[in-house]
Amino acid sequence: MCATCGCGDDGATITAVGAQSGHDHSHDHTHDHPHAHPHTETIALEQKVLAKNDMLAEQNRQWLTDHAILAFNITSSPGAGKTTLLERTIRHLSPQRQVSVIEGDQETLLDADRITAAGARAVQVNTGAGCHLDAGMVERALRVLEPDSGSLLFIENVGNLVCPALFDLGEHSKVVVISVTEGTDKPLKYPHMFAAAGLVLVNKVDLLPYVDFDLDLCVQHARSVNPGVEIVPVSATKGDGMDVWFKWIDARANELHTTVT
């Protein structure tokens, strides 16, 4: 059981989708999530859990950076459109570079199947009762996925804006996806996630004429908790704003290339 949120993630399973082989990282560690302690130990245990996760995340990030693999942690509430966004992104980017995806869900291979159909290599991490991915799960998934050096990696987190804000996975940036079918005040209700974001994508803007959503006010709320955050309105289904998203990815890739070289 997770000491941070109380969810049970001991039963997490990692499944390769399609023909993929194991990957042997230069670092070697296994997932070992502590069980719940008495209430008086909760704070100390939470600190230990997050400290261990941060250590594993930094190892993941170093391995990814050493191999010039640009990694994004994609987070959102359920139904905001993460998978549809990734499908369109993969179809646009995969002719120029290898794209791989670590797909996080509590159950099923449905999203991983959609990702592979779009043209990316994928592994599915099913967290069972767990509400988030952690760095250990990502390390294990990387062993199976074996992304090529110089490639692009998306980690589609479990649909949740609470615990994924706390757990660094080793990504180079968190990308938060919200949709206009959610409340304008989402950034105020989930400030930790928006404070951690490198980019906010406001999805489903094609529905703005039909919903009660104030885009300008949402942007204002997001920047009240993260003044420097970039915000891009998009429609993953219609294509609005996607070119700006693709250019943002290219800019991050160039930054990583400069760091590595």
Read off the pLDDT of residues 12-28 as tens digits, 9 standing for 90 and up.
787 878 645 444 444 44
pLDDT value of position 13: 84
Return the CATH number at 217: 3.40.50.300
Domain count, the chain: 1
Q: What are the CA-CA distances from residue 59 to residues 25, 52, 174 (Å)?
A: 10, 11, 17
In this structure, is residue 28 part of a structural domain? Answer: no
Residue 143 near residue 22, CB atoms below 8 Å: yes
pLDDT tens by residue, 30-58? 444 444 444 445 456 567 778 999 999 99
Residue 159 near residue 133, CB atoms below 8 Å: no
Higher-confidence residue of 136 and 4: namely 136
Domain that holds residue 142: 34-260
Summary mean pLDDT of the chain: 88
Range from 3-12, 140-149, 245-254 carrying the lowest mean pLDDT: 3-12
In angstroms, the CA 101 to CA 86 distance is: 9
Residue 234 near residue 245, CB atoms below 8 Å: yes
Task: Give me the sheet containing 152-156, strands edge to edge.
Answer: 13-17, 121-126, 99-105, 152-156, 70-76, 173-179, 199-203, 230-233
Residue 105 near residue 154, CB atoms below 8 Å: no
Q: Pinpoint the alpha helices (H) of 72-160.
A: 82-93, 110-118, 135-145
Residue 61 near residue 70, CB atoms below 8 Å: no
Residue type, 12: A
What's the pLDDT band for 67 if we cut at 50, 70, 90? very high
pLDDT tens by residue, 102-148? 999 888 889 999 999 999 999 999 988 788 999 999 999 999 999 99
In this structure, is residue 177 part of a structural domain? Answer: yes
In angstroms, the CA 14 to CA 141 distance is: 6
In this structure, is residue 161 part of a structural domain? Answer: yes
In this structure, is residue 130 part of a structural domain? Answer: yes
In this structure, is residue 3 part of a structural domain? Answer: no
The SS3 of residue 176 is: strand
Residue 187 near residue 231, CB atoms below 8 Å: no
pLDDT value of position 50: 86
Residue 60 near residue 102, CB atoms below 8 Å: no
pLDDT value of position 3: 52
Residue 115 near residue 15, CB atoms below 8 Å: no
pLDDT tens by residue, 193-210? 999 999 999 999 999 999
pLDDT tens by residue, 153-186? 999 999 999 999 999 999 999 999 999 999 999 9
pLDDT value of position 19: 46
State yes or no: pLDDT of 252 exceeds 80: yes
Tokens of 35: 């069980």
**pTM of this structure:** 0.85
In angstroms, the CA 181 to CA 80 distance is: 8
Residue 104 near residue 134, CB atoms below 8 Å: no
Range from 129-133, 138-142, 188-192, 214-218 carrying the lowest mean pLDDT: 129-133
> Locate tokens 């302690």: which residue?
37
pLDDT value of position 53: 94
What's the pLDDT band for 257 if we cut at 50, 70, 90? confident
What's the pLDDT band for 79 if we cut at 50, 70, 90? very high
Residue 166 near residue 176, CB atoms below 8 Å: no
Q: How many helices (H) and strands (E) does the chain have?
A: 8, 8
b/e map 126-140, b = 16+ CB within 10 Å: bbeebbbbbbbbbbb
Tokens of 163: 């615990």
Residues 204-221 have a mean pLDDT of 98
pLDDT tens by residue, 147-160? 999 999 999 999 99
In this structure, is residue 11 part of a structural domain? Answer: no
In this structure, is residue 27 part of a structural domain? Answer: no
In this structure, is residue 95 part of a structural domain? Answer: yes
